[in-house]
Amino acid sequence: MYEGAVQDLIDELGALPGVGPKSAQRIAFHILSADSADVMRLANALRVVKEKVRFCENCGNIAEAPTCRICQDPRRDTTLICVVEEAKDVEVIERTGSYRGLYHVLGGAIDPIKGLGPEQLRIRQLLGRLTNVREVIIATDPNIEGEATATYLARMLETMQVPASRLALGLPVGGDLEYADEITLGRAFEGRRLLS
Ligand SMILES: [Zn+2]
């Protein structure tokens, strides 16, 4: 344990995803010895991101306006909606260059252990976007929660008679969409198949 402010910083850093106690300590001491201007730039970036960045009213992607740059782009194919769990997955799919439609960010996956059901996700908003949509591509993570979410969505879309597809083989089972390389994800997109 360190003195007040240093320990507070270590605690805050340690609460971040992927930062263990040792890393938190290393980052804290890096900040302590770093140039004051550099640290202020970091502090400012943290402040600005919380002030300026919000979630797109339409798709739930990150945005610096009421809607995100993808929803605003007139060149996107508005008859395609790709459903992902998190906003970071949008960027992963964008990097493949394989997709020119719109997105819908659910804000997670169905996970009964964490108390996350369909009502906690942006599923109702998705169902409100389906007019003139020719296909919904379900790109939830290839793990248990992602599969459960995909199955749930596929059933809902079937009753609404909206064609749905799921990303195909090529993605590692039990993995996380954000760790897939562009080629794997690109092929998975090309090989997607219609459900039912
Ligand atoms: Zn959007």
**pLDDT at residue 117, rounded to an integer:** 92
**pLDDT band (50, 70, 90) for residue 194:** confident
Ligand 1 centroid – CA 191 distance (Å): 25
The DSSP symbol for 168 reads -
Rounded to the nearest 5 percent, the helix, strand and coil shares of the chain are: 50, 15, 35
Task: Tell me the CA–centroid distance for residue 66 and ligand 1, in Å.
Answer: 9
Taking the C-alpha atoms of residue 30 and residue 7, their distance in angstroms, rounded to an integer, is 14
Alpha-carbon torsion, ordered 99, 101, 104, 105, to 10 deg:
30
| pLDDT value of residue 191 | 76
Average pLDDT over residues 1-27: 93
**Domains in the chain, please, with CATH?**
4-52 (1.10.8.420), 74-166 (3.40.1360.10)
Q: Could you tell me if 27 and 8 are in contact, meaning their C-beta atoms sit under 8 angstroms apart?
A: no
Region of poorest pLDDT, from 9-23, 57-71, 89-103, 170-184: 170-184
Q: How far is the CA of 1 from the centre of ligand 1 (A)?
A: 44
Cβ neighbour number for residue 192 with a 10 Å cutoff: 21
pLDDT value for 65: 94
Portion of the chain with pLDDT greater than 70, in percent: 99
Residues with CB under 5 A from ligand 1 (ion): 56, 58-59, 61, 68, 71
pLDDT of the residue at 8: 95
Question: Which of 107-116, 142-151, 174-183 shows the lowest per-residue confidence on average (mean pLDDT)?
Answer: 174-183
The confidence band for 69, taking pLDDT boundaries of 50, 70 and 90, is: very high
Q: How confident is residue 81, by pLDDT bands cut at 50, 70 and 90? A: very high
Give the Å distance between the CA of 37 and the centre of ligand 1. Answer: 35
Name 86's Cβ contacts closer than 8 Å, sequence gap at least 6: 105, 107, 108, 178
What confidence category does residue 188 fall into, taking pLDDT thresholds of 50, 70 and 90? confident
pLDDT of residue 83 exceeding 90, the answer is: yes
Query: Edge-to-edge strands of the sheet including 77-84?
Result: 101-105, 77-84, 135-138, 164-166, 193-194
Mean pLDDT along residues 108-128:
93
